[in-house]
């Protein structure tokens, strides 16, 4: 068992002011795998003060100095890929192969690409008689979720450091151990004291203290829309900058001329990735009624290949959910779908056969779902796919846009121009065309209640910069 009993503040591991301890549970065995401190507002106060003290010096360093440190972080992180992947597979439950590629591969890429982005970025430009300067926003409070814990941390920390900001991080208390490994790395590479600080604890205590702190200039939050609204309310008291990456209910639109051999495996995969615990998961499959029976058959066949099991077993395609609470929440949504009249094609509320331990849910598919149903509107965060039939192209677009969210989406058509035309009508931050792959340099973020601002690549760096004009 991994016991972490200190917080990282001001360049040192220090005892917490809070006396509580938070248990971290292995999502497969349901056993306690580690503990971390339950921080309190006094810990946040110490951390934000350290970050504020470090800001003047760190923000005045050259982009090249910051890029060199980011390079060192990337190299150290890459050397610990296996260790990180195994840890996150236990914390979150993602199968180990995917954990290597996604849960650690993306964070490594965040740092590897950010160094060059910082080197190439135009921090100053002449606009008429004015010199326009882009400067670090200040002390950043970063609040991150449990589903892609290290990725979401690095997607904030890498650009914040690159911009010249200092950071106080509150990782999710459900999967926090990976954040301690990252703090070890940042300490070992020689990041100056106070530039990065780590305080673990719960959202209502530590998260709210960070969002309220007068020393925090910006809050970057990833999590539920409900919690994001609370962060905005608290941040408004001091008129902080706020970046939010929130919920999603994304649609995969299969047009009537789509190649189903390619579309269906991809659509199911993009719903079930990380057991459906993905904010950008394509959980609504918008299907032409003229091909509905064929699509249903293919989706069920594909879904039933997602074998639930131990994430360290090579045959496992679907790991457990992260916690008992999440498992019960997802099962509740499945029951609600049945109650409201959706047609259950496979899966259901019963636990997968032979899995008495672990937070497992059967890969589930519904059809005849309409936009009035709960499972068509609320973010389930589990392996549940809803098929919504449509009559024509306009109807498909209307269904795709009929949620409060707008984070991701997909369109499939044998006519690339047609797919793009439909994608342009979707009010969402990213759309994959005919299986287009995820681009870690492209902006990631949403419309409507999916958030404010963008992460990743140059766009992520810009979120952490203020703009000043010097008139001559």
Active site residues: 245, 279
Burial of 146 (0-12, 13-18, 19+ CB in 10 A): buried
Burial of 340 (0-12, 13-18, 19+ CB in 10 A): middle
Q: Torsions phi, psi of 231, nearest 5?
A: -60, -45
383: DSSP letter: S
Q: Is 321 helix (H, G, I), strand (E, B) or coil?
A: coil
Question: CB of 246 within 8 A of CB of 451?
Answer: yes
**Pairing assessment for the beta strands 32-38 and 20-25 based on DSSP bridges:** antiparallel
3-state helix, strand, coil in the chain (%, to 5): 45, 20, 35
Number of separate helices (H) and strands (E) present in the chain: 16, 21
Location of structure tokens 């600080």: 197
Report the run of H or E that residue 127 belongs to, with start and end: strand 124-127
Please tell me the distance from the alpha carbon of residue 303 to that of residue 269, in angstroms, as a whole number.
9
Location of structure tokens 């649609």: 251
Location of structure tokens 């074998």: 307
Question: CB of 244 within 8 A of CB of 453?
Answer: yes
Please tell me the distance from the alpha carbon of residue 259 to that of residue 255, in angstroms, as a whole number.
9
- Tokens standing for residue 29: 């065995």
């Amino acid at each position: 068992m991994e016991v972490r009993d200190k917080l990282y503040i001001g360049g040192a591991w220090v005892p917490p002011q809070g006396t509580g301890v938070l248990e971290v549970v292995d999502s497969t065995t349901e056993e306690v795998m580690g503990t971390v401190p339950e921080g309190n507002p006094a810990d946040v106060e110490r951390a934000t003060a350290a970050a504020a003290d470090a800001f003047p010096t760190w923000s005045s360093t050259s982009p090249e100095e910051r890029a060199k440190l980011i390079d060192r972080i990337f190299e150290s992180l890459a050397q610990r890929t296996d260790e990180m992947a195994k840890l996150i597979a236990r914390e979150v439950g993602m199968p180990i192969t995917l954990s290597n590629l996604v849960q650690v591969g993306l964070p490594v890429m965040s740092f590897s690409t950010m160094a060059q982005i910082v080197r190439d970025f135009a921090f100053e430009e002449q606009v008429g008689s004015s010199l326009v300067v882009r400067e670090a926003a200040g002390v950043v409070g970063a609040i991150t979720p449990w589903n892609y814990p290290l990725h979401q941390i690095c997607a904030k920390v890498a650009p914040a450091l690159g911009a010249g900001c200092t950071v106080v991080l509150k990782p999710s208390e459900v999967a926090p151990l990976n954040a301690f490994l990252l703090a070890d790395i940042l300490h070992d590479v020689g990041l100056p004291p106070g530039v990065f600080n780590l305080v673990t604890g719960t959202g209502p205590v530590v998260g709210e203290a960070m969002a309220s702190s007068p020393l925090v200039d910006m809050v970057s939050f990833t999590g539920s829309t409900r919690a994001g609204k609370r962060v905005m309310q608290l941040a408004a008291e001091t008129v902080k900058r706020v970046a939010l990456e929130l919920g999603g209910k994304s649609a995969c639109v299969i047009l009537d001329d789509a190649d189903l051999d390619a579309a269906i495996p991809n659509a199911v995969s993009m719903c079930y990735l990380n057991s459906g615990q993905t904010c950008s998961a394509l959980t609504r499959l918008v299907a032409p009624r003229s091909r509905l029976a064929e699509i249903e058959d293919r989706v069920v066949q594909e879904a039933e290949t997602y074998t639930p099991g131990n994430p360290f077993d090579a045959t496992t395609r679907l790991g457990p959910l992260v916690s008992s609470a999440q498992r019960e929440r997802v099962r509740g949504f499945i029951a609600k779908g049945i109650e409201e009249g959706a047609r259950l094609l496979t899966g259901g509320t019963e636990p997968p056969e032979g899995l008495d331990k672990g937070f497992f849910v059967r890969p589930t598919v519904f059809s005849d779902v309409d936009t009035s149903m709960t499972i068509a509107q609320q973010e389930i965060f589990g392996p549940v796919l809803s098929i919504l039939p449509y009559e024509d192209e306009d109807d498909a677009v209307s269904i795709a846009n009929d949620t409060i969210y707008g984070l991701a989406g997909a369109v499939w058509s044998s006519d690339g121009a047609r797919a793009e035309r439909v994608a342009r009508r979707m009010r969402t931050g990213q759309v994959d065309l005919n299986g287009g792959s995820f681009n870690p340099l492209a902006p990631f973020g949403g419309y409507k209640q999916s958030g404010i601002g963008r992460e990743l690549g140059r766009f992520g760096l810009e979120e952490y910069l203020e703009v000043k004009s010097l008139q001559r």
